[in-house]
């Protein structure tokens, strides 16, 4: 048996074949290209076992991407550490214009050994299933928006203007069904477009019902229920926050979470010059979009409605205290910024940033140990 040493293994994952490189433990040591292997679980299990038998302890890594977390779960189940790396945070040379599977695998192995890679948080299978369901709803809502836009564009093209302000109400749908065109092809086109809107709405309703069905058995269900005590946070906003953020305890402070969601101001300063711009918009755009929409509700004075009162009664006194503090502070903050002449979009971004801090506090209060 040969001498066992610690090694760092970089894997460039793909749909059918994975490229693997192995770096010795010593800094500046040899980096060997292992080769390309089949990406099937059985083959990867044999390769991982072969590397571990030859070198002893091995630390694996690969980039997060469309292949998911299956390889991570396979490697960790065999008792070896594995990092799923954030692709946008991998150091790259500006002048490097050559990209191959081999170079990517070798680069990952080198950077893993140097400690220059940033791992992402890996959810368990139950959490990933809920996240996929929430993202399926987001895709369904986007499809519904597209179908509605097609109907509106079709009616505008033919000079048919709805006489009221609010569209897509029952009155609007009846108005659509009452429209008559001289050419039967136009009538068929309108009916097909309206049916597409109806089908997409039914799809959204089915997915939302499924979310409510599976929520009670989910590990983060207490967090979702507690978050709904905050104004502007309904079931969809709360479950989106919980699925996308996951374990909020990985953020030591609310400022870290704000930066993760891209809600902090950008900055480009040098010497005595300090220049700050709009929010960075880095990180998770799904949660950021939801929070900015929720921030609109704080333009009204603080009060507890009937539905929100029911949610508050189901939470702990500490969560109720945080929820009322959030209402009092954020409504006053909204009025102050608006009175100072700030644009509504800027005000909502600022409110969303502070709302993130209160959501962090609520989630930390009820997060299961």
Q: What is the DSSP string of 247-296?
A: -GGG-SSHHHHHHHTT-SEEE--BTTB--EEEE---S-HHHHHHHHHHHG
Question: CB within 8 A of 255, min separation 6: which ones?
Answer: 264, 357
In this prediction, residue 283 carries a pLDDT of 86
Q: How confident is the model at residue 49 (pLDDT cuts 50, 70, 90)?
A: very high
DSSP annotation of 119: B
Q: Name the CA radius of gyration of the chain, rounded.
A: 26
Q: How confident is the model at residue 82 (pLDDT cuts 50, 70, 90)?
A: very high
Beta pairing class for 17-24 and 82-85: unpaired
Is the per-residue pLDDT at 267 higher than 60?
yes
Q: How confident is the model at residue 299 (pLDDT cuts 50, 70, 90)?
A: very high
Q: How confident is the model at residue 368 (pLDDT cuts 50, 70, 90)?
A: low
Is the per-residue pLDDT at 369 higher than 70?
no
In this prediction, residue 1 carries a pLDDT of 39
Q: What is the dihedral of CA 315, 319, 325, 327, to 10 degrees?
A: -40
Backbone angle region of 37, left / alpha / beta, with phi > 0 → left and psi within -120 to 50 → alpha: beta
Question: CB within 8 A of 339, min separation 6: which ones?
Answer: none
DSSP annotation of 218: S
pLDDT tens per residue, range 106-149? 999 999 999 999 999 999 999 999 999 999 999 999 999 999 99
Choosing among 3.30.390.10, 3.30.420.10, 3.40.190.10, 3.40.50.1390, the CATH entry for 6-114 is 3.30.420.10
User: If we measure between CA atoms, which residue out of 61, 47, 54 comes closest to residue 5?
Assistant: 54
What percentage of the chain carries pLDDT values higher than 90?
86
pLDDT tens per residue, range 171-192? 999 999 999 999 999 999 999 9
Give the rounded distance of the alpha carbon of 125 from its chain centre.
16
Residue position matching structure tokens 């799904």: 286
The stretch 334-341 carries a mean pLDDT of 96
The Cα 259–Cα 208 span in angstroms is 29
Average confidence score pLDDT of the chain? 94
The Cα 154–Cα 160 span in angstroms is 9
> Could you tell me the residue ranges of all domains in the chain?
6-114, 125-217, 220-366
Q: How confident is the model at residue 4 (pLDDT cuts 50, 70, 90)?
A: low
In this prediction, residue 5 carries a pLDDT of 66
| Backbone φ, ψ for residue 17 (5° rounding) | -140, 145
The stretch 233-252 carries a mean pLDDT of 95
Long-range CB contact pairs, 38-46, < 8 A, 24+: 39/13, 39/14, 39/15, 39/67, 41/70, 41/74, 44/18, 44/71, 44/74, 44/75, 45/74, 45/78
Tell me, yes or no, if the pTM score tops 0.95. Answer: no
Question: CB within 8 A of 344, min separation 6: which ones?
Answer: 338
């Amino acid at each position: 048996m040969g001498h066992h040493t610690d090694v760092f293994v970089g894997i460039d994952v793909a749909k059918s074949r994975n490229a693997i490189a192995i770096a010795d433990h010593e800094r500046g040591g040899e980096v060997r290209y292992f080769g390309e292997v089949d990406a099937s679980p059985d083959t990867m299990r044999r390769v991982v076992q072969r590397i571990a038998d030859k070198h002893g302890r091995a630390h694996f890594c690969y980039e997060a991407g469309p292949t998911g977390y299956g390889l991570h779960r396979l490697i960790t189940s065999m008792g070896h550490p594995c990092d799923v790396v954030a692709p946008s945070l991998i150091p790259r040379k500006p002048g490097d214009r050559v990209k191959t599977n081999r170079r990517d695998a070798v680069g990952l192995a080198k950077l893993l050994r140097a400690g220059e890679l940033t791992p992402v948080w890996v959810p368990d299978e139950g959490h990933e299933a809920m996240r996929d369901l929430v993202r399926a709803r987001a895709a369904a809502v986007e499809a519904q928006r597209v179908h509605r836009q097609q109907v509106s564009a079709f009616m505008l093209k033919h000079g048919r203007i709805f006489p009221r302000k609010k569209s897509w109400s029952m009155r609007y749908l009846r108005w659509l069904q009452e429209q008559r065109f001289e050419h039967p092809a136009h009538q068929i086109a309108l009916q097909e477009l309206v049916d597409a809107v109806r089908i997409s709405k039914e799809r959204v309703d089915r997915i939302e019902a499924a979310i409510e069905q599976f929520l009670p058995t989910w590990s983060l269900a207490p967090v979702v229920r507690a978050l709904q005590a905050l104004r502007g946070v309904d079931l969809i906003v709360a479950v989106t926050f919980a699925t996308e953020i996951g374990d909020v305890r990985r953020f030591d402070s609310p400022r870290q979470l704000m930066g993760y969601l891209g809600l902090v101001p950008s900055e480009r300063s040098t010497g005595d010059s300090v220049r700050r711009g709009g929010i960075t918009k880095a990180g998770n755009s799904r949660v950021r979009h939801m929070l900015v929409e929720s921030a609109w509700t704080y333009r009204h004075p603080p009060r507890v409605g009937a539905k929100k009162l029911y949610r508050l009664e189901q939470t702990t006194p500490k969560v109720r205290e945080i929820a009322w503090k959030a209402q009092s502070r954020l409504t006053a903050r909204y009025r102050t910024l608006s009175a100072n002449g700030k644009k509504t979009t800027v005000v909502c971004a600022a409110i969303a940033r502070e709302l993130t801090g209160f959501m962090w506090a609520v989630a930390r209060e009820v997060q299961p140990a």
